[in-house]
Amino acid sequence: MTIQRKEVIAKPLGARAECPHFSRFRGSDARVPGKAGSFSITSRALILSALSAIALIIYCVAGYYSSDLIQHVVEQSLIQKAPPGVDPPVVRQRLEALLQTEPDEKARVQRLLKISEYLEKIQSLTLEEWESLF
């Protein structure tokens, strides 16, 4: 039995495609225009501007409805912490009457925040505390 000798020519291993372990990844890491996963600067700018517009709309809507949201949260807290025997419609009526006495929207929000701050500190309202709120 004779052993045949083959002459091996060394090739530079600079390219990943030469290595058999990277053959399954060939083409997936290259950014080719028009292929999925590659974005041009205009498409990136379009996506960024659309996301910015959505964020601006959400910010404006939240600012517009913030006083209504605060009022709803305080109303629900008052209903939960009201003394026994006080019905939810009575809570709503008294809160509305209290807020009608305030001159403007900013004063109403400040009053609601003060009530909310007070309600955070207690578990439930007694009749005296209930009357002192209104």
pLDDT per residue as tens, the chain (134 positions): 667 777 766 665 555 545 555 555 555 545 555 555 567 899 999 999 999 999 999 999 988 888 889 999 999 999 999 888 888 999 999 999 988 988 888 899 999 999 999 988 888 888 888 888 87
Cα separation, 50 vs 38, whole angstroms: 18
All structural domains of the chain with their residue ranges: 65-133
Instruction: Report the run of H or E that residue 75 belongs to, with start and end.
Output: helix 41-81
- The pTM for the full model equals 0.57
